[in-house]
Structure 1
Amino acid sequence: MSADPENEYFSDGITEEIINALTTVKGLKVIARTSSFAFKNKNIDVRTIGDQLGVSTILEGSVRKAKKRVRITAQLISTNDGTHFWSKNFDRELEDIFALQDEISLLIADQIRENFGHFEIPSFSNAIPTQNIKAYDLWLKGSYHLKRKDFDDVKKAMNFFKGAIKIDPNYADAHAFLGEAYIHAASYNMIPSKEGNDLARNTAEKAIELDAENAKAHMMLAYIKLFSDWNWDAALIEYDKAIKYGLSDQNEFITYYYIFIKEDFERAVQVSKRVAETDPLDVHTHWQLGLIYYFARSFEEAIAAFNKALEVDATFAEAIRFRGLALGYLGKYNEALIDINRALGLTSGQGLANLDLLVVKILMGKKEEALAVIKKSKYMDSSDPALLFSLLNMPNEAIYWLDKAYEERSVTMVTLKNYWVWDNLRDNARFKEIYSQMNFPPSIKNKQILEPITIAQTPFISTSLLSKNEIENYLEKLEELMKVDEIYKDPSISLRHLAEKLELSPNKLSWLINEQIGTNFNEYINTFRLIAFKEKALNPNNSHLTLLGLAYESGFNSKTVFNVFFKKMEGMTPRVWVNSQEK
């Protein structure tokens, strides 16, 4: 809801940090940034948003930055009826922004747990990435542009990250994100592939030197170990570190590893589907799922995923060109050519759609026409002509270029194991030598996906956090606090405050209330308030007081919460209930 375009990068950055923190809470489904941001600055009913994203709760708010101060508002809203569970304003010095992000994330997680049920909340990081707010501001701008992932934005992102590093050379995140920008720059042919990988490696290693637990840097090294070093074990080691230090295990890197290295197509599809579930309005997640289906030779499913991506962004050239390729392999050549030519139009004739056009013409049998173009073309990546000559079944020419690709350490070399375009070369002696030098690990034998895979939400399994004696002891103390001390009458009581009084961790108290009493924290507390309200409402001595006043005396701190909870429990409004008792 932030209304200042000049500070959009700042509010986006704060929002994303909160999303990232909440994502670490196991058992909590959190929609990713792209799909969340699709509703930014739009006046859309929360019920509509809830339906589109498949969520029960929405966090909305605003960020305002002025000189050295920041004001953040936040409110947690039910998508069922628009009820506000919680709202709060924060006014802080800009220097306190990192602690504030953690504080807001913790408060939100607490509120969701109190209203919906038990899950364990980890300790959110109190680490301060940089002491220099100007460097942080430049990093936020760089991150904002990097997420947009087009040509000009990648250049801007690199400049902002370099600026942040110039101000604070010890800013690990700036080094790590600069590494990612270099990898994107190489993929856009802004710089040669080897140069991009070398620069990314240097910046990632520098980030890890500054912060051994920098997840982004370890993920960048995982990509480099996979696509440039062809060190499969080292790639997984770096990947595992990235997950250990906070990145989600549902990501595109591991799908590439499953497809190209392990040939475990089912697991690759499962991961891609889960990513799409948590980011359903991001064109890239559906494109990525389509890509996985494509490399698994499930072309119909691939086309369906690319179509979904194009529903999100009809001009996304990568989805259009890959849909064209899938159509080509299904023999639907006219449709394939329409897609690929459209992709070429969107990219002003640049990019890999030129290669796709030749692939489809080869599949159509127009080999001489394709060969004439191949021979007069220049290639930045030697694997491109190698692939085309392989499809043309011209092994000598294909091997010539494949040798060059091997020396150049082309990223496409990781596809030798799985990609069918190399099938015409597999009996060639030199191909076998190159393949052997790649030292691929054994495959998972499931090269065919026979039917679409249905992904079920992984249930959160609760284990006992307290012994039998501890359970009895704390339940007894809890009952005393409620019935004797009447602590529920404190309108500001929270699960954490109650846990302090019991000298018990909030995670254990949450488990105790949910698993042993069979309700969530708010319903537990509000049940006592409801009983107190009924007693007061039926007491003639209180006839001069309003029902809302009696509700407040009973501990309720919101008219809406009181009315909604009362109707939920009694099936009628408080006034109707009181009148029914007087008859």
Structure 2
Amino acid sequence: MDEFFQRLRQRKVVQWALAYVAASFGLIQILDLVGQRFDWPAEIVRVFIVAAAVGFFVTLVLAWYHGERGRQRMTTTEVLILTALLAVGGVLAWRFALPTAPSTTLAKSTAVPDGKSIAVLAFADLSPEHDQEYFSDGLSEELINSLGRAGAFKVMGRTSSFQFKNSKDDPRTIGQKLGVGYLVDGSVRKAADRLRIGVALVRTDDGSNVWSDSYDRDLKDIFAVQSEIATAVTRQLQHSLGIAMTQTLVAEPGDGRPPSGNVEAYQALLQGNFHSRRADAADEFKAMEFYERAIALDPRYALAHAQLAISALWYAGTYSNDSAADREAIMAHVRSTVATALELEPDLARAHFALAQLLRIDLRFADAEREFARAAELAPNDAGVIRQFGLMQSERGHLGAALVTIDRAVALDPLSRDALFSRGLLLDLTGRFDEAEAALRKAIEVEPQAATTHSQLAITKIHQGDTAAAIAVAREETDPFWRRWALAMALSAHGDRQQADAELDALIGENGADSPFQIGELYAARKNPDEAFRWLDRALAIKDPGVNQLFTSSLLAAYRDDPRYAAIARKAGLDPANAPALPEGKAAAK
């Protein structure tokens, strides 16, 4: 043994080992710091750590054989030892450092739960008549907003959390699907003017109950009990995670409650939100009626004014068949409503969001982007606001920044169909077709009946060169207009000109007056730029909302160097220099 230690000293093995450990530790710290600044994938640091661990044993071998005599040649024994170490290191890097391919199937999703994250599930309506779902949903949403203001942990977006309404999944399964460490679950029983609210905070790793409580209150105390519940949940999380709360949970502008404290006005707002989220014409009309009622009960209710404006814009742009004069009257009312909301609460995120939507319709894209940015700043946890900000960035041609913003929305609300759809759209535009397909197929799994997802996937399949699959996907589109549009495009790409002509003629006959932009896209896909630009001129003349997508239409990207494209961009208030280039791989689809 004495001889062994003597050799260690002679060959300076300890010195080599200490020097290697110090150098590796310093490099890991530097790499971790640089990675955080540039948002490098975590796998880079993990691979380096595994490599450094293997390198430590390599260093010991080299020191043992070469620490004393640096010019000694490598022996066969050394080569075999080093080869074995490198082989083991490669296996470890493959097994522990490199990520496995993510599944695109929602049911098989196994996201690693983030310990400092939480999801608020939709509270169950236990009222005698089971007619208070709007109220239980509203309470859950307000709790999401309140916890988001705590600033100490990540709060999952509403869309993803509400995917599990009435779900039989256990906490561990939900935690894996959402990637969260904690769940808040509860129930509401509302009878006349009395409330009973039950709340529980649950760990997702083992399903254990961290805390639970029940609250029996009068309806007039709803705002106080909301803050009480949010504070209790936050304190429990602070205790469990050992973290500090960075912001107050008291009422803030836009937190949902009317300035007068009128509970009836608040309930009208919740009913409006409930119907608006159901996304059909009848419900949207009901939503506007409830927002109007909330305003009548409290004229200074800024959030009700903002929500009314957003709902009216959506209704006019999606469902209304009103005349041009009627639409102008609606838009005038919306402008007045937005102005009132901003006057009442200048820092209300939803009011800035509504103004941004108005500016987008007016083709004032730079101003719209500024307002979307302000809304995102005021509501940093609102995935819907952040997604629209990202879309606005893309509509101005800033695809790199837009994808970063959309990825942020997906991180906040990973099971949001809208966020996944937007990500698929931008990935397709940048030529990352396989990733685009994965995002779009996941969006379909999340919300199979949503319009436009299949039609966008059909575009991606064409770009991948699989026109037969594009036709099959187009036939699955749930919206009649977008199904016909996607079929006209896919059939033409497949070479079936007769059927494609029939679909295009039917589309022009039924929707030529109100959807000229989409018809222009189809002519562009047919390599008929003269007709394409003729229809785009029509779209610009009537302020077709599709004009917003001039820079995000992959079907028009082939003509970005055409002078007519630049002219239309300028008329629409866009800088032609920002028009995205055609990604490599789309040239074949031109």
1:243 matched to 2:376: yes
Change (3 A) 1:148 1:332: same
| 2:150 counterpart SS class | coil
* Cα distance between partner residues in 1 of 2:166 and 2:560: 54
Residue 135 of structure 2 contacts residue 271 of structure 2 at CA under 8 Å; is this kept in 1? yes
Mapped to 2, the partners of 1:298 and 1:198 lie a distance apart of: 42
Shift in CA distance, 43/338, structure 1 to aligned 2, threshold 3 Å: closer
Is 1:340 aligned to 2:340, yes or no?
A: no
Partner of 1:143: 273
- Superposed displacement of residue 56, structure 1: 1.4
Which residue is 2:363 aligned to? 230
The aligned counterpart of 1:108 is 233
Residue 368 of structure 1 and its aligned partner are, at CA, apart by 5.8
Secondary structure of the equivalent of 1:10? helix
Letter in 2 for 1:355: W
C-alpha change, 1:242 and 1:282, in structure 2 (3 Å) is closer
Aligned pairs for 1:152-301 (under 5 A) are: 152-191=282-321, 195=328, 199-225=333-359, 227-248=360-381, 250=383, 251-265=386-400, 267-301=401-435
Tell me how far apart the structure 1 counterparts of residues 503 and 579 of structure 2 sit (CA, whole Å).
38
TM-score by length of 1: 0.69
Q: Equivalent residue for 2:126?
A: 3
SS at match of 1:6: coil
Q: For 1:51-70, list aligned pairs within 5 A.
A: 51-70=176-195
Deviation at 1:256, TM superposition (A): 0.7
Of 240, 243, 264, 1:134 maps to 264
Q: 1:37 to 1:294 in 2, by over 3 A?
A: same
Please tell me the residue identity of whatever aligns with 2:125: S
Which whole-Å CA distance do the structure 2 matches of 1:36 and 1:433 have between them?
45
Q: 1:117 aligns with which of 242, 265, 272?
A: 242
Shift of 1:297: 3.5
Paired residues of 1:109 and 1:121 also in contact (CA < 8 A): no
* CA shift for structure 1 position 425: 4.3
1:223–1:253 contact (8 Å) kept in structure 2: no
Q: In 1, distance between residues paired with 2:125 and 2:558?
A: 57
Q: Does 1:303 align with 2:437?
A: yes
| CA deviation after TM superposition for structure 1 residue 12, in Å | 0.5
Instruction: Give the aligned CA root-mean-square deviation in angstroms.
Output: 2.9
From 169, 173, 176, the equivalent of 1:44 is 169
Query: Is the CA contact 2:540–2:572 (under 8 Å) kept in the aligned structure 1?
Result: no
Q: What is the CA-CA distance between 1:216 and the residue it aligns to?
A: 0.6
Question: Where in structure 2 are the equivalents of 1:416-565 lying within 5 Å?
Answer: 416-423=550-557, 425-441=559-575, 443=578
Size of the alignment, in residue pairs?
444
Q: Match for residue 458 of structure 1? A: none
- CA deviation string 1:514-537 (max 9, x = no partner): xxxxxxxxxxxxxxxxxxxxxxxx
1:411 maps to amino acid: P
Conserved? CA contact 1:26–1:119, under 8 Å: no
Number of the residue aligned with 1:327: 461
User: Is residue 19 from structure 1 mapped to residue 144 from structure 2 by the alignment?
Assistant: yes
How far off its partner does 1:204 sit? 2.0
| Distance of aligned partners of 1:198 and 1:295 in 2 relative to their CA distance in 1, 3 Å threshold | farther
Question: Is contact 2:373-2:389 (8 Å) kept?
Answer: no
Cα distance change of structure 1 residues 204 and 296 upon mapping to structure 2, 3 Å threshold:
farther
Cα distance change on mapping 1:390 and 1:44 into 2, 3 Å: closer
| Per-residue Cα deviation, 1:358-413 (whole angstroms, up to 9, x for no partner) | 12223223456544554552421221222222333333333332222112222222
Give 5+ residue unaligned stretches, structure 2: 1-123, 586-590
Contact 1:3 1:41 in 2 (8 A): no
| Residues 388-443 of structure 1, C-alpha deviations (whole Å, 9 max, x = no match) | 22333333333332222112222222332343322454454443322223343564
Q: With CA pairs under 8 Å and 6+ residues apart, which has the higher RCO, 1 or 2? A: 1
Q: Percent identity?
A: 30
Q: Residue 444 and residue 388 in structure 1: after superposition, are their counterparts in 2 closer, same or farther (change >3 A)?
A: closer
| SS of 1:56 mapped into structure 2 | strand
Q: Give the aligned partner of residue 568 of structure 1.
A: none
Measured in 2, the distance between the counterparts of 1:160 and 1:113 equals 38
Aligned to 1:408: 542
Partner SS for 1:316:
coil
Which residue identity lines up with residue 190 of structure 1 in the other structure?
A: S
C-alpha distance in structure 2 between counterparts of 1:415 and 1:40, whole Å? 34
Return the offset for 1:304: 0.9
Offset at 1:447?
7.5
Q: Deviation of residue 223 (structure 1)?
A: 2.2
Relative to the length of structure 2, the TM-score reads: 0.69
Q: Which residue of 1 aligns with 2:45?
A: none
Distance 1:199 1:293 in 2: 37
- Whether 2:522 is the aligned partner of 1:385: answer no
Distance 1:52 1:91, change over 3 A: same
Q: Secondary structure at the match of 1:262?
A: coil
| 1:7 to partner: Cα distance | 0.7
Deviations 1:171-195 (A, max 9, x none): 2222211222123223424246965
